[in-house]
């Protein structure tokens, strides 16, 4: 197909867009300015030396008009460009001196088809069955994984959703991952479960209801923590929980305190004394159960084991958001009563010990394949150096957790990166910043690209492979 002579081809990613003058490519990251490919965003530099704990500084090539850079300036992969096609050295390989040691930092924007996010939703509510499909815009983009302590976990993305399905699935997956990584709100629906609005660093919204707090513990743990607060004020306490419902008179904590039997009957599977499983189906009710009336989990009271008229019963959820007080009538049926003032501080104490609900988003990628050749001509040496912790891996300046085992599989908390750190290419794949920092001698021993090493001053003077159209002043703001 013959292309217009006004259009030029961008080789920054496998899409190889033909870009008309004054227009950007499909990724919005590269543009045609007067017949040359330019990077539309500046390289981001970080410094921790200024007031407020640090700042994010956009770097605008030779057109920089800001202050001189602090001595501890750290160049990031944000805005640097990619190594594609990957035989090329990384966009910037910068020499520096740190505490008298000669160091090298290699930065790139890595293109990730093998990537995803792990999302932690702090909630007691039931979001959906384990293994259930998670959807965005109606397309499958991941699944529900395990329930953790006060949280539900989602695994989203991955190469099968990005590239293994229909185009609509890949596009929806890429768009959702990009938004989540850039700390934007995304609506997710779970098969046989809830609709969630997730946003990194914000409270989740489950079926239209913002979550306020995560549980202080399971029902049994709550009994263990607060049994002494209730002793002498009430005859029985039940902490309703989808996982482990606690009963103070039977629990070891109650026994140690000298709690008397009450003849209570819990409709669930007894595990150990005072601990019950499966008192209800999971749901959006008390303690992550499906119930709105806590008396539903109680069977007949047994007078031979201590049940009596006037027995005082407190029922409470694991967050303290739901609570009710009852007294047994003559027929040993619980009757609702106003909660005594003396019990309110103990309910508030449960609430006080619950942490605010948040969504946590961890970007997870495999920094393998050929991007490593932008760092060294012998890629496996980089893998071994990262695994041996000789090479420090960061993403947008943020610390990464590198998984043991083969390859460079890492995770990073997206709230620790500067704004807008992630991009995409419509293959589809995500683009994430990476920085590899190691001693200069070790870098050369890896087979690093010695001829591509520059000082920060040289980088400022000469720029990179793609000039930038941005002219930005330093931006104040604490480094997250």
Whether 360 is covered by a domain: the verdict is no
Written in H, E and C, the secondary structure of the chain is CCCCCCCEECCCCCCCCEECCCCECCCCCEEEECCEEEECCCEEEEECCCCCCCEEEEECHHHCCCCCCCCCCEECCCCCCCCCCCCCCCCEEEEEEECCEEEEEEEEEEEECCEEEEEEEECCCCCCCCCCEEEECCEEEEEEEEEECCEEEEEEECHHHHHCCCHHHHHHHHHHHHHHHCCCCEEEEECCCCEEEECECCCCEECCEECCECCCCCHHHHHHHHHHHHECCECEEEEECCCCEEECCCCHHHHHHCCCCCCCCECCEECCCCEEECCCCECCCHHHECCCCHHHHECCCCHHHCCCCCCEEEEEECCCCCEEEEEECCCCCEEEECCCHHHHHHHHHHHHCCCECCEEEEEEEECCHHHHHHCECCHHHHHHHHHCCCCEEEECCEECEECCCCCCEEEEEHHHCCCCCCEEECCCEEEEEEEEEEEHHHHHHCCECHHHEEEHHHHHHHCCCCCECCCCCCECCCCC
Would you state the pLDDT for residue 480? 33
Residue 383 has pLDDT above 90, yes or no: yes
Regarding whether 334 and 224 lie in a shared domain, the answer is yes
- Kindly report, residue by residue over 125-148, the tens digit of the pLDDT: 889 999 999 999 999 999 999 988
Euclidean distance between CA atoms 282 and 52, whole angstroms: 45
Cα 419 to Cα 424: distance, rounded to the nearest angstrom: 15
**Contact yes or no for 58/43 (Cβ under 8 A):** yes
pLDDT tens-digit map of 254-275:
999 999 999 999 999 999 999 9
On whether the CB atoms of residues 109 and 432 are closer than 8 A, the answer is yes
- Residue 477's pLDDT band, with cuts at 50, 70 and 90, is very low
One domain, residues 48 and 135: no
On whether both 249 and 305 belong to a single domain, the answer is yes
**Could you read off the pLDDT of 390-400 as tens digits, one per residue?**
999 999 999 99
Tell me how far apart the alpha carbons of residues 240 and 233 are, in angstroms, rounded to a whole number: 19
- β-sheet bridge partners, residue 120: 153, 360
Determine, yes or no, domain membership for 10. no
pLDDT, residue 48, reads: 60
Residue 201 belongs to a domain: yes
Same domain, 105 and 68: yes
Is 326 in the same domain as 419?
no
Pull the structure tokens for residue 362: 């961890």
Listed residues 321, 352, 383: the one ending a domain? 352
- Mean pLDDT lowest for which of 11-25, 241-255, 288-302, 372-386? 11-25
Mean pLDDT of the chain: 88
Residues 227, 348 share a domain: yes
Using pLDDT thresholds of 50, 70 and 90, give the confidence band for residue 223: very high
Q: Indicate whether 50 pLDDT > 50.
A: no
Q: So what's the pLDDT on residue 25?
A: 87
The answer to the question of residue 74 being in a domain is yes
Would the pLDDT of 72 be above 80? no
Non-local (6+) Cβ contacts of 242 within 8 A are 124, 126, 279, 280, 282, 283, 287, 288, 289
Distances (CA, A) of 427 to 17, 41, 140, 174, 327: 11, 20, 18, 9, 65
Contact 94, 134 (CB under 8 A): no
State pTM to two decimals: 0.86
- Sign of torsion over alpha carbons 388, 392, 396, 397: positive
* Domain assignment of residue 2, yes or no: no
Rounded (5°) CA angle 224-227-232? 165
Residue 475 belongs to some domain of the structure? no
Last-in-domain residue among 180, 214, 248: 214
- The answer on pLDDT for 61 being more than 80 is no
Above pLDDT 90, what percent of the chain? Answer: 65
**Full residue range of the structural domain in which residue 189 is found:** 115-214
For residue 213, give the nearest of 349, 320, 347 by alpha carbon: 320
Q: Residue 469 falls within a domain, yes or no?
A: no
Measured CA to CA, the distance from residue 410 to residue 398 in angstroms comes to 12
Quote the number of domains for the chain.
Answer: 3
> Is residue 123 located within the same domain as residue 105?
no
Same-domain check for residues 423 and 457: yes
344: closest CA among 264, 214, 233, 210?
233
Q: What whole-number distance in Å separates Cα of residue 105 and Cα of residue 94? A: 5
Task: Identify whether residues 324 and 228 lie together within a single domain.
Answer: yes
Q: What is the pLDDT of residue 51?
A: 42
Torsion sign over Cα 321, 327, 329, 333: positive
Determine the Cα angle at 413 with ends 129 and 405, to 5°: 80
Higher-scoring residue by pLDDT: 86, 228: 228
Residue 364 has pLDDT above 90, yes or no: yes
Min mean pLDDT across 161-165, 199-203, 454-458 is at: 454-458
Identify whether residues 388 and 458 lie together within a single domain.
yes
**Three-class SS string for 139-182?**
EEEEEEEEEECCEEEEEEECHHHHHCCCHHHHHHHHHHHHHHHC
Based on the fold, state whether residues 62 and 164 are members of the same structural domain.
no
Find the range with the poorest average confidence among 7-11, 59-63, 73-77, 452-456: 59-63
Tell me: do 223 and 295 sit in the same domain: yes
Burial class (CB in 10 A: 0-12, 13-18, 19+), 472: middle
Asked whether residue 426 is domain-assigned, the answer is yes
Domain boundary pick from 320, 352, 384: 352
User: Would you give the distance in Å from CA 122 to the centre of its chain?
Assistant: 11
Confidence of residue 58 (pLDDT cuts 50, 70, 90): low
């Amino acid at each position: 197909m013959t292309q217009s002579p006004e259009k030029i081809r961008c080789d920054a990613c496998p899409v190889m867009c033909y870009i008309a003058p004054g227009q950007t490519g499909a990724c919005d990251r590269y543009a045609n300015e007067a017949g040359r490919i330019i990077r539309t965003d500046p390289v981001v530099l970080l410094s921790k030396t200024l007031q407020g704990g640090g700042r994010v500084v956009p770097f605008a090539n030779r057109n920089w008009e800001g202050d001189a850079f602090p001595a501890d300036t750290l160049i990031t992969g944000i805005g640097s460009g990619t190594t594609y096609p990957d035989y090329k050295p990384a966009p910037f390989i910068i020499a520096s001196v740190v505490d008298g040691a000669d160091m090298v930092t290699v930065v790139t924007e890595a293109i990730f088809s093998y990537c995803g996010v792990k999302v932690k939703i702090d909630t007691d509510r039931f979001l959906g069955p384990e293994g259930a499909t998670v959807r965005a815009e109606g397309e499958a983009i991941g699944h529900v994984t395990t329930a953790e302590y006060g949280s539900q976990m989602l695994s989203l993305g991955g190469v099968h959703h990005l590239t293994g399905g229909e185009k609509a699935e890949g596009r929806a997956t890429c768009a959702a991952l990009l938004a989540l990584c850039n700390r934007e709100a995304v609506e997710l629906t779970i098969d046989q479960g809830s609709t969630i609005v997730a946003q990194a660093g914000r409270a989740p919204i489950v079926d239209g209801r913002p979550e306020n707090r995560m549980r202080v513990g399971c029902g049994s743990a709550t009994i263990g923590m607060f049994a002494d607060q209730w002793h002498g004020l009430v005859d029985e306490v039940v902490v309703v929980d989808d996982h482990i419902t606690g009963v103070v008179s039977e629990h070891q904590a109650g026994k140690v305190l000298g709690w008397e039997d009450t003849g209570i009957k819990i409709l669930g599977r007894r595990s150990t004394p005072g601990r019950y499983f499966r008192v209800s189906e999971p749901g959006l009710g008390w303690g992550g159960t499906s119930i709105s009336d806590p008396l539903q989990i109680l069977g007949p009271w047994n007078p031979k084991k201590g049940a009596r008229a006037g027995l005082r019963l407190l029922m409470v959820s694991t967050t303290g958001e739901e609570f009710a007080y009852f007294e047994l009538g003559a027929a040993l049926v619980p009757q609702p009563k106003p909660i005594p003032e003396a019990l309110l501080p103990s309910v508030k104490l449960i609430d006080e010990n619950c942490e605010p609900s948040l969504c946590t988003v961890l970007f997870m990628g495999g920094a393998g394949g050929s991007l490593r050749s932008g760092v060294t001509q012998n890629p496996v040496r980089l893998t071994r150096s990262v695994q041996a912790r000789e090479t420090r891996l960061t993403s947008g300046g943020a610390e990464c957790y590198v998984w043991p085992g083969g390859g460079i599989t890492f995770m990073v908390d997206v709230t620790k990166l500067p704004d807008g750190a992630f991009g995409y290419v419509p293959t589809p794949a995500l683009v994430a910043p990476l920085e590899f920092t190691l001693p200069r001698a070790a870098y050369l021993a890896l087979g690093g690209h010695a001829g591509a090493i520059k000082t920060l001053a040289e980088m400022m003077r000469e720029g990179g492979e793609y000039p930038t159209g941005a002219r930005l002043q330093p931006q104040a703001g604490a480094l997250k």
